[in-house]
Amino acid sequence: MVFGVACSMAGDGLFNSQPWGDGITAFDSRQELFSVVPPVDLITLVVDRPVLIEHAWVTEHVDLEHWLSTGPILVNDTDLARRVSGHLHAVRAACKEGGIRVEGEGAQTGLAEDVLEFLCPLVAHRLRRPLAARRELAHVELVRRARDYARERADEPPRIVDLCRELRVSRRWLQWSFNEVMGIGPCAYLQLMRLNGARRMLLRATPDMRVGDAIEAYGFWHMSRFSRDYRCHFGELPSQTLRRAQARR
């Protein structure tokens, strides 16, 4: 599956005879496509099709398989294109600066989930809902079950898509429920769980352990962002925690 994020298009474009301007297009690369593209800043993002279809259905209850089977999706929205391109440029900049750790499976999964969790809601909420609507849980009950599920997996905290799949609710309802009950969103809650997990691991450090081991174990991929968030919550850098724990040993 391919996403195209277009910004600053010089004139009007066409994509399978549909008007195309600044915004986002999503299409199945197996289909034959025709486009007329004037000069434009274009970012192309290729996503594994089954992964994208499942993520959109589990978290947004949107059947992208159905919509993409009829042709490309076009969302002509300049503000949306700027937000998405800004996020993707930030990832690219981190790659060039060496600030991304993607050697391990955990970090790769974390990076992929972060991109999908940013991209899917922005596109999916502009699409029509499927006919088979699901009944959502009450706020308090949903948060209780979500927290129980996450706590049982404290050493490998779940992500938003895992909570949506387990509780059979949309990302939007999950967000609303956490904000109503806890005053923070589910992303912030799960992020704090992962930071606490990394800190526990650093505090139990062996002599040959590195900070990168904790980053990988808890699915972080942006090293400088991890260090910044860690210091914000715990008042010290992860390297300081590690050195103190190793000195005690």
CATH at 219: 1.10.10.60
Q: Percentage of the chain with pLDDT > 70?
A: 90
Task: Tell me how far apart the alpha carbons of residues 85 and 245 are, in angstroms, rounded to a whole number.
Answer: 41
Whether residues 106 and 148 share a domain: the answer is no
Domain count, the chain: 2
Q: What mean pLDDT is predicted for residues 53-79? A: 84
- Considering 95, 124, 153, which residue would you say is the last residue of a domain? 124
Q: Which domain holds residue 17?
A: 2-124
- Considering 96, 124, 152, which residue would you say is the last residue of a domain? 124
Whether residues 68 and 163 share a domain: the answer is no
pLDDT band per the 50, 70, 90 thresholds, residue 232:
very high
Task: Tell me how far apart the alpha carbons of residues 228 and 94 are, in angstroms, rounded to a whole number.
Answer: 14
Q: What mean pLDDT is predicted for residues 135-151? A: 88
3-state secondary structure the chain: CEEEEEECCCCCEEECCEEECCEEEEECCCCCCCEECCCCEEEEEECCHHHHHHHHHHHHCCCHHHHHHCCCEEECCHHHHHHHHHHHHHHHHHHHHCCECCCCHHHHHHHHHHHHHHHHHHHHCCCCCCCCCCCCCCHHHHHHHHHHHHHCCCCCCCCHHHHHHHHCCCHHHHHHHHHHHCCCCHHHHHHHHHHHHHHHHHHCCCCCCCHHHHHHHCCCCEHHHHHHHHHHHHCCCHHHHHHHHHHHC
The per-residue pLDDT for range 6-50, each reduced to its tens digit, is: 998 988 888 888 888 898 888 888 888 888 888 999 988 888 888
* pLDDT above 70 for 234: yes
Whether residues 18 and 101 share a domain: the answer is yes
* pLDDT above 70 for 103: no
Whether residues 97 and 196 share a domain: the answer is no
The first and second tokens of residue 59, run together, are: 């978290």
Q: Which of 172-176, 183-187, 220-224, 225-229 has the lowest mean pLDDT?
A: 220-224
Whether residues 144 and 119 share a domain: the answer is no
- Considering 66, 99, 124, which residue would you say is the last residue of a domain? 124
Whether residues 117 and 144 share a domain: the answer is no
Whether residues 94 and 146 share a domain: the answer is no
Q: What is the pLDDT of residue 192?
A: 93
Highest mean pLDDT among 1-5, 26-30, 134-138, 145-149: 145-149
Q: What mean pLDDT is predicted for residues 169-175? A: 90
* pLDDT above 70 for 89: yes
Whether residues 103 and 29 share a domain: the answer is yes
Q: What is the pLDDT of residue 98?
A: 63
Q: What is the pLDDT of residue 3?
A: 87
Whether residues 120 and 6 share a domain: the answer is yes
Give, in order, the Cα–Cα distances in Å from 60 to each of 86, 126, 130. Answer: 22, 11, 10
Task: Tell me how far apart the alpha carbons of residues 184 and 175 are, in angstroms, rounded to a whole number.
Answer: 8
pLDDT band per the 50, 70, 90 thresholds, residue 133:
very low
